[in-house]
Chains A and B, each alone.
Chain A
Amino acid sequence: MNLDSHIGVDRGENFALDATIGIEAEETVALLGPNGAGKSTVVMAIAGILPIDRGHIRLGDHVLDRPDASVFVPPAQRSVGVVFQDHVLFPHLSAVDNVAFGLESAGATRREARRVAGEWLERVHIGAERNSKPGQLSGGQSQRVALARALAVQPDLLLLDEPLAALDVATRSDLRRLLAQHLAGFGGPRMLITHDPAEAFLLGDRVVVLENGRVTQMGTPDEIRRHPVTQYAADVAGLNLLTGTISGGVVDVGVDPPIHIADSGVSGNVLVTIHPRSISLHREMPHGSPRNVWPTTVAVVEPLGDRVRIQLGAPHELTVELTEAAVRDLGVEPGVPTWVAIKATEVSVQPA
């Protein structure tokens, strides 16, 4: 079962969504875009909460929405599981009743629905809170309940709208692991809406960039990261990502030199993020404060807007973003040797 969609929605005079998005079975597409890009509108259209004005939405053999053929399947008949932004748990129902709600709607008896709901709560490691009301749950706990509620009805398609946005950092990495595990166990197409590139890269098999109602780029996380085609993609998604193991403020990323970081409160496996604009290049070996310094060569030089993105060669193959003036001053062009310098404070790490 796959998702095939061309979603055209007009909202007022200033916003029109026109996005073609396909997702294969067992594939996770991360829909990445700034606020107001139309990401939530995509969720509402696929879930059937908002009928589309143009295009079509097809899930497997079922046409769910196709205005030119007057086809519109209401949300209750779509089998689309949604984990909403801010979770939207029913405030008057306990955690277990929230999860049981969908099962009962599908015809299960109350007793059976609550039994199965309890199992789902166990699966997301929140069985102890089965009788708590949403108001008594923390953000992370209610997100787990929301995930269990969406999965329990065994939908054909799973939509996750900013599932980690409202959580603190520690909870977020726990939940990201849980999400990764449950996404992998879900057999249908999966869509993750996010404005956080790290989340998109970690959880998405493919990333679709949505800006101002249009798809501006789609590709694997690596393609988006290395070759962003718009300024937005370059700014938020064109990041350098390294994975490694941290000990004593130094991250071993597999090849030398290791990366020095300033934040020593993290340990174990980490994801290292370095923004291309926080890396500087030098003709000579730089002296002074930067902790991370090594020689390399320029591999590729590509202009993007008023900046230039430079791909470096071994050992770390990072992307650097400089102004055109800086590129001229440094004489940067493919094949030229150069020195890389990164301050430890410019390197951010999060548990992977």
Chain B
Amino acid sequence: MLVLAGLGTALVVLPLVGLLTRTPWRDLANLLTSRIVVDALRLSLVASTGAAALSLVLGVPLAWVLARSEFRGKALLRGLVILPMVLPPVVGGAALLFAFGRRWLIGEPVYEATGFLLPFSMWGVILATTYISLPFMVLTVEAGLRNLDERYEAAAATLGASRWRVFRRITLPLIGSSLLAGLVLAWARALGEFGATITFAGNLAGRTQTMPLAVFLALEQDRGAAVAISLVLVAVSLTVLVLLRERWWPVR
């Protein structure tokens, strides 16, 4: 048992060690402040925060519908919501392109009317990462809602509270830890998103090039820069996970 646990630990630690041994420590400061890295970091933080926020706004109502109502096709709806979790992100990105691209389903009329184009823009990055992150939010919040004793909401209703008031004053506060967990998961997933983003939004430095995309590009051209960016990603992710650990997973 302990041997296997040791192997498991090795599996998660060794890549980090590998990363550290290849880190060009002398040039690190220069690399980290280079235009490409700063732009990618800014874009990544904006996009993953935007995706987490959008997942919250869209995901909580979806979770509520899935947890609290019965209707035909509910299993199908849940399947569709979870699909981006299992689908190769590249496929998701391509599907997004076929829906929102300039010549496609929704993209064309919107472009004709407003000149607004989602793909290859920062909004496209946010849309693609939200598409991938949303299931994490929905599943987490749905589980939170299912674990919530429905009698709290029933009691609030008998006290004359409207459905909105019950949701706002009772349901939301009581699933607070699930909301936070959903946010962290969605945010973390969005931060690492690669496939759907590069397919739907492209890899334009300063506009749609997030950290993972920058790493991918840099691996071909400048290994040192790739390692430096990777290091930043690791540092940011680990910091967030450690800061939120006590609220996220129930360790006591």
**Does B159 make an interface contact (CB < 8 A)?**
yes
**Does B149 make an interface contact (CB < 8 A)?**
yes
Report A-chain residues with C-beta under 8 Å of the C-beta of B154: 44, 47, 49, 75, 88
Q: Could you tell me if A101 and B157 are in contact, using CB atoms closer than 8 angstroms?
A: no
Who on chain B is nearest to A75 by CB? B157
Q: How far is the CA of A10 from the CA of B159 in the complex (A)?
A: 26
Q: How far is the CA of A75 from the CA of B154 in the complex (A)?
A: 8
Q: Could you tell me if B158 and A75 are in contact, using CB atoms closer than 8 angstroms?
A: yes
Who on chain A is nearest to B155 by CB? A88
Q: Could you tell me if A76 and B161 are in contact, using CB atoms closer than 8 angstroms?
A: yes
| Binary flags per residue of B136-167, CB closer than 8 Å to A gives 1, else 0 | 00000000000001011011111111110100
Q: How far is the CA of A48 from the CA of B157 in the complex (A)?
A: 9
**Does A111 make an interface contact (CB < 8 A)?**
no
Q: Could you tell me if B158 and A105 are in contact, using CB atoms closer than 8 angstroms?
A: no
- Which of B160, B162, B163, B170 contacts A90, CB < 8 Å? B170
Report A-chain residues with C-beta under 8 Å of the C-beta of B163: 76
Q: How far is the CA of A183 from the CA of B116 in the complex (A)?
A: 66
Report B-chain residues with C-beta under 8 Å of the C-beta of A49: 154, 157-158
Interface residues of A in 24-65 (CB under 8 A from B): 44, 47-49
Report B-chain residues with C-beta under 8 Å of the C-beta of A44: 154
Interface residues of A in 78-100 (CB under 8 A from B): 78-82, 84, 88, 90-92
| Binary flags per residue of A217-248, CB closer than 8 Å to B gives 1, else 0 | 00000000000000000000000000000000
**Does B173 make an interface contact (CB < 8 A)?**
yes
- Contact-size category for A: 20 to 34
Q: How far is the CA of A44 from the CA of B153 in the complex (A)?
A: 13
Q: Could you tell me if B159 and A84 are in contact, using CB atoms closer than 8 angstroms?
A: no
Report A-chain residues with C-beta under 8 Å of the C-beta of B149: 88
Q: How far is the CA of A75 from the CA of B161 in the complex (A)?
A: 9
Report B-chain residues with C-beta under 8 Å of the C-beta of A102: 159-161
| Binary flags per residue of A250-288, CB closer than 8 Å to B gives 1, else 0 | 000000000000000000000000000000000000000
Report B-chain residues with C-beta under 8 Å of the C-beta of A81: 158
Q: How far is the CA of A75 from the CA of B173 in the complex (A)?
A: 21
Who on chain B is nearest to A82 by CB? B158
**Does A210 make an interface contact (CB < 8 A)?**
no
- Which of A84, A92, A106 contacts B160, CB < 8 Å? A106
**Does B46 make an interface contact (CB < 8 A)?**
no
- Which of A78, A82, A90, A106 contacts B152, CB < 8 Å? A90
Q: Could you tell me if B174 and A92 are in contact, using CB atoms closer than 8 angstroms?
A: yes
Q: How far is the CA of A75 from the CA of B162 in the complex (A)?
A: 9
Who on chain B is nearest to A49 by CB? B154
Q: A76-B162, A105-B162 are in contact. Are A88 and B151 (CB under 8 A)?
A: yes
**Does B169 make an interface contact (CB < 8 A)?**
yes
**Does A340 make an interface contact (CB < 8 A)?**
no
Who on chain B is nearest to A47 by CB? B158
**Does A335 make an interface contact (CB < 8 A)?**
no
**Does A153 make an interface contact (CB < 8 A)?**
yes
Q: Could you tell me if A149 and B151 are in contact, using CB atoms closer than 8 angstroms?
A: no
Q: A91-B174, A92-B174, A101-B169 are in contact. Are A153 and B159 (CB under 8 A)?
A: yes
Q: Could you tell me if B160 and A105 are in contact, using CB atoms closer than 8 angstroms?
A: yes
Q: A88-B149, A92-B173 are in contact. Are A105 and B165 (CB under 8 A)?
A: yes
Q: How far is the CA of A73 from the CA of B174 in the complex (A)?
A: 26
| Binary flags per residue of A97-135, CB closer than 8 Å to B gives 1, else 0 | 000011001100000000000000000000000000000
- Which of A47, A48, A78, A101 contacts B161, CB < 8 Å? A101
**Does A331 make an interface contact (CB < 8 A)?**
no
Report B-chain residues with C-beta under 8 Å of the C-beta of A80: 158
Who on chain B is nearest to A101 by CB? B159
Q: Could you tell me if A101 and B158 are in contact, using CB atoms closer than 8 angstroms?
A: no
Distance from A41 Cβ to chain B, minimum over Cβ atoms (Å): 13
Report A-chain residues with C-beta under 8 Å of the C-beta of B161: 76, 101-102, 105
5 pairs, CB–CB < 8 Å, chain A vs chain B: A75-B158, A81-B158, A88-B152, A90-B155, A105-B165
Add 20 more A-B contacts to A48-B158, A76-B162 (CB < 8 A): A47-B158, A49-B158, A74-B157, A75-B154, A75-B158, A76-B157, A76-B159, A76-B160, A80-B158, A84-B151, A88-B151, A88-B154, A91-B174, A92-B174, A101-B156, A101-B161, A102-B159, A102-B160, A149-B159, A153-B160
